[in-house]
Amino acid sequence: MRRFVEHHTVWAIAILLASVMFLWMVFAVWPEWLVSAIGRKKTFVGTFLNGVTLGGLYFLVASGFTLVFGLMRNVNLAHGSMYLLGGYIGYEVAEASGSWFLALVVAFVAVALVGILLQVLVFRRMEGDDLRQTLVTIGISIVAADLMLAFWGGNTYQFQPPDWLYGTIQLPIVSVIKSDGSAVFIKYPLYRFTVLGVAVAVGIALWLFLNRTKIGMMIRAGVNDRDMLAASGVNVQLIFALVFAIGAGLAGFAGVIGGSALSISPGEDIRYLLASLVVVIVGGLGSISGAAIGALIIGLAEQFGLAYFPTYGVVLTFLIMVVVLAVRPQGIMGGR
């Protein structure tokens, strides 16, 4: 942070001014011209919050994807299938036990086990052959999507999170002042904030795990030089299996979180695969902080695109990807 300010003072000032401007816009009542320019404040703030919380969900999915790539150079294109599988398993557990939290835990563990199986049975056999690994993950995603369709059908499933997570909360943001002088406050669903909170918690936990534990140290060493790590006596295969388990488990976990915020149905796997791809391309493949930044950008872009120019919403996401690739091919936080 401090180094950034020292090195890019102009940028730092610009960002500071922009955020002050933004806060003023959010907390003050909007003048008329702003309403005509970017719509009512309720729409704007709602879209912004939707974007941030969607970014949180994308971070949950993409962090596993990028973690696995960072260490193993394995682009797991079956990551979306793991999201969907986690959602379905979580739904079954929640239906059977009635506990949403149990669903979260089981989805994480079950999909993590699937990840370990894949790593041990498939990817270990073709280490170093990036393209073949990627093709295999495509094959797995085709079969997995079809089998899940066979088992769970084309229905849409909706979770029932605990009641105290549902409902709306009132934000300390005034949208309009009524003629009698009373202010109307903006309301927002609580569950969406929960998604954001979980994403932040997972992000911090991942950071602590990677930077403050011994295993995390080994993982970081493996990212830099896998062979040297193996040569210094670490059982690399165990580390690989562990990282794959965490990455896959996070996808399954996100399946329940995302399935409660939105819903679970066939085709969601592709949607979250696309989200993960774009997020890591923008943020930088292999970097957790890059995934966070990328997820925030893509989540915001998607929601603002949907709200302000519905039929061209996807183009905005795509343009961001192109611009990042043109200016910084390795992604915002990617180093090479």
Which residues bind to other proteins, rule: CB under 8 A? 73, 75, 77, 122, 125, 129-132, 134-136, 138-140, 142-143, 145-147, 149-150, 270, 273-274, 277-278, 280-281, 285, 310-315, 317-318, 321-322, 325-326, 329-330
Instruction: Please identify, using beta-carbon distances, which residue of 287 and 317 lies nearer to other proteins.
Output: 317
d(CA 50, CA 257): 15
Instruction: Please identify, using beta-carbon distances, which residue of 65 and 188 lies nearer to other proteins.
Output: 65
Instruction: Please identify, using beta-carbon distances, which residue of 53 and 276 lies nearer to other proteins.
Output: 276
Instruction: Please identify, using beta-carbon distances, which residue of 37 and 326 lies nearer to other proteins.
Output: 326
SS3 264: strand
Contacts of 182 (CB under 8 A, 6+ apart): none
Residue count of the chain, please give it. Answer: 336
Q: Specify the pairing of strand 168-177 against strand 183-189.
A: antiparallel
Owner of token pair 């193993």? 72
CB of 59 to other proteins, least distance (A): 17
Instruction: Please identify, using beta-carbon distances, which residue of 134 and 263 lies nearer to other proteins.
Output: 134
CB of 139 to other proteins, least distance (A): 4
CB of 317 to other proteins, least distance (A): 7
* Three-state secondary structure string covering 289-311: HHHHHHHHHHHHHHHHHHHHCHH
* Torsion angles phi and psi, residue 122, rounded to 5: -115, -60
CB of 77 to other proteins, least distance (A): 7
CB of 76 to other proteins, least distance (A): 11
Instruction: Please identify, using beta-carbon distances, which residue of 223 and 321 lies nearer to other proteins.
Output: 321
Q: Enumerate the β-bridge partners of residue 185.
A: 174
CB of 178 to other proteins, least distance (A): 37
SS3 188: strand
CB of 72 to other proteins, least distance (A): 12
CB of 25 to other proteins, least distance (A): 28
Instruction: Please identify, using beta-carbon distances, which residue of 76 and 175 lies nearer to other proteins.
Output: 76
For residue 170, the surrounding DSSP H or E stretch is strand 168-177
CB of 277 to other proteins, least distance (A): 5
Q: Where are the beta strands (DSSP E) in the chain?
A: 168-177, 183-189
DSSP 223-256: HH-HHHHHHTT--HHHHHHHHHHHHHHHHHHHHH
Instruction: Please identify, using beta-carbon distances, which residue of 154 and 181 lies nearer to other proteins.
Output: 154
AA identity, residue 94: A
Contacts of 256 (CB under 8 A, 6+ apart): 86, 87, 90, 91, 94, 100, 103, 104, 107, 159
AA identity, residue 78: A
Q: Enumerate the β-bridge partners of residue 169.
A: 188
Handedness of CA 156, 157, 163, 166 (dihedral sign): negative
Instruction: Please identify, using beta-carbon distances, which residue of 134 and 160 lies nearer to other proteins.
Output: 134
Tokens describing residue 279: 């997020």
**How many other C-beta atoms can be found within 10 angstroms of the C-beta atom of residue 114?**
24
Nearest one of 63, 55, 114 to 84, comparing CA atoms? 114
